Amino acid sequence: MSERKPGTSLVSATSPKSKLPAEVRSAGSLVTRRVSDLVRFVEPSSPNAPEALPASDTKDQSVDQSRSKVHGDQVAGDKVDGSKIAGDVLGANATKIEKQINIQLPRSATVIEKLLASLETEIDQDIHRLDTITRLQRYHGGIVRDGVIGLIAKLERGGRHFEIETALEQKEDFAKLLETWSLYHSAQEIFVYLLARAEHTFNTEIMPEIGSLSVVDINRLVNLGIVNPMVDECAISVLQIDHVSAMGMLYWLAEQCFIRWH
């Protein structure tokens, strides 16, 4: 372990990416599935599709505007031309229509909600990223400033030797979670956001209290300021970050020399 990049379980920016589990890859949005159902309903080959109207009824349903003195297009709404919908042909190109759907979020949506919506779209469309974004690479090894290298040494120095076994296990679980989701750009952005927020909150609100508060009181601050908010935002998402993986993130940050308990 070098003094600039501590840690034994780092996720290399150039390491091969593991494939996302099948149950996660199949997690599609409700809107996407609804459009798929709609496409199947209007497909001519669908056994449940309604019979086509006679040619005389569908020959020309456009509005004749040639004699009108009103300038511009006088027909409101979307224009449907034959078998085209919004420029995409049904049938063979139905998948293309599905991929053009944009989920509209309210203006009050949080950063995590917006990134999770983008992540869902990337999963639906099978869009992968082959490298690690620069801002996430920063968290793959910090700078040792006090000579205490590694998670075990930091826990021992902070009087937390009783946490070592659990901390090592949870740290490794988080490293695996980070590797699994490194396939997706939005997932990397989510982890950057969560790591940066955890680092900032710990070092500005919790670190100053170390030495004056007990271990239990410090743990309470960690839960209130870092762990619980992270779980509230991500527990029911495809990431499924729970209290254990949230604590694993903190232990991972300590391994990389971004936080300490002494």
Q: Is the pLDDT of residue 121 over 50?
A: yes
Give the separation between CA 136 and CA 130, rounded to whole angstroms.
Answer: 14
pLDDT band at 69 (very low <50, low <70, confident <90, very high): low
Give the separation between CA 4 and CA 7, rounded to whole angstroms.
Answer: 10
In this predicted model, what pLDDT tens digit does every residue of 104-120 receive, in sequence order? 555 667 899 999 999 99
- Give residue 63's pLDDT: 52
Percent of the chain topping pLDDT 70:
59
Give the separation between CA 68 and CA 260, rounded to whole angstroms.
Answer: 77
Q: Give the residue carrying structure tokens 């679980």.
A: 173
- Give residue 259's pLDDT: 94
Q: Give the residue carrying structure tokens 């224009």.
A: 79
Percent of the chain topping pLDDT 90:
51
Q: Is the pLDDT of residue 51 over 80?
A: no
- Give residue 143's pLDDT: 82
pLDDT band at 34 (very low <50, low <70, confident <90, very high): very low
Q: Dump the DSSP string for 37-64.
A: HHHHHH-TT-TTPPPPPPHHHHS-----
Give the separation between CA 149 and CA 195, rounded to whole angstroms.
Answer: 20
Q: If you ran DSSP here, which 8-state letter would residue 245 be given?
A: H
Q: Is the pLDDT of residue 90 over 50?
A: no
Q: How far is CA 213 from CA 208, 219, 229, in A?
A: 10, 10, 22
Q: What are phi and psi of 108, to 5 degrees?
A: -80, 0
Range among 19-23, 105-109, 171-175 rated most confident: 171-175
**For the purposes of burial, counting CB atoms within 10 Å of the CB of 115, is it exposed (0-12), middle (13-18) or buried (19 or more)?**
buried
Tokens at residue 197, please? 């927020």
- Give residue 220's pLDDT: 97
Top pLDDT among 11 and 22 is at: 22
Give the separation between CA 86 and CA 75, rounded to whole angstroms.
Answer: 16
183 with 19: CB under 8 angstroms? yes
- Give residue 249's pLDDT: 97
Q: Is the pLDDT of residue 145 over 50?
A: yes
pLDDT band at 238 (very low <50, low <70, confident <90, very high): very high
Tokens at residue 262, please? 């002494």
Top pLDDT among 124 and 54 is at: 124
- Give residue 24's pLDDT: 52
Q: What are phi and psi of 89, to 5 degrees?
A: -85, 135
Give the separation between CA 46 and CA 149, rounded to whole angstroms.
Answer: 64
Q: Is the pLDDT of residue 101 over 70?
A: no
- Give residue 150's pLDDT: 92
Q: Average pLDDT of the chain?
A: 74
- Give residue 141's pLDDT: 82
Q: Is the pLDDT of residue 199 over 80?
A: yes
Q: What are phi and psi of 163, to 5 degrees?
A: -95, -10
Range among 30-34, 84-88, 113-117 rated most confident: 113-117
Residues 168-196, mean pLDDT to the nearest whole number: 95
